[in-house]
Amino acid sequence: MDNFSIQISSNLVNKLVEDGEKSKRKPRRTKKLPRKWPFQSPLFVPVTPHSQSPYKELDAIKYVLQESERDIERLQKQEENMLQEVTQKAKELHDKEFKLPFQKPMPCSNEKDVFLSYYKEHADNPLKCAGVVKSFENCTRRIRQQVGLAEK
């Protein structure tokens, strides 16, 4: 079934009424239709006695279906936009929650690494590590003094 629509103007209706009167021998009085019909609901289709539409209900149903489809499309677009916004907000919250704050490096970590690796290399003779141990000890003493000054 093909979809189509017909628009009937008041001028066409008047002309059809006049033509119908001319074809009859006996003139007949008819009520003149207004030039413009007042706007009413979209389901209202003006009907004259000469133009009764057998598809009036079908046309109304088609109109309602078209409007429903437009509403569905509008709601789907709105849903997509909202989904994008929620996804973006969730990503931002996730990034903020699981982002590690800036951490200061552990003091004397280099000296500690050197000290441990030296002990591994010279496990049989730990006295060879005395210089490295002394360097680590000096570093920790300096840090304790700095923290001690900061506490006072």
The whole-number pLDDT of residue 38 equals: 46
In contact, 53 and 45? CB cutoff 8 Å: yes
- Please, what is the Cα angle at 71 between 69 and 66, to 5 degrees? 35
Matching residue, tokens 């709105």: 78
Q: What is the pTM of this model?
A: 0.33
DSSP string, 69-132: HHHHHHHHHHHHHHHHHHHHHHHHHHHHHHPPPP-PPPTTHHHHHHHHHHHHHTTT-GGGGHHH
The whole-number pLDDT of residue 29 equals: 58
Q: Count CA atoms within 13 Å of residue 102 on its CB side.
A: 1
Per-residue pLDDT of the chain (152 residues; tens, 9 = 90+): 566 666 677 777 777 777 666 655 555 555 555 555 444 444 555 545 444 566 788 888 889 999 999 999 999 999 999 999 999 999 888 888 776 677 778 888 899 999 889 889 988 988 888 899 999 999 999 988 888 765 55
The whole-number pLDDT of residue 73 equals: 94
Q: How far, in Å, CA of 135 to CA of 113, rounded? A: 12
Question: Which of 138, 72, 78 lies closest to 111, judged by CA?
Answer: 138
The whole-number pLDDT of residue 141 equals: 92
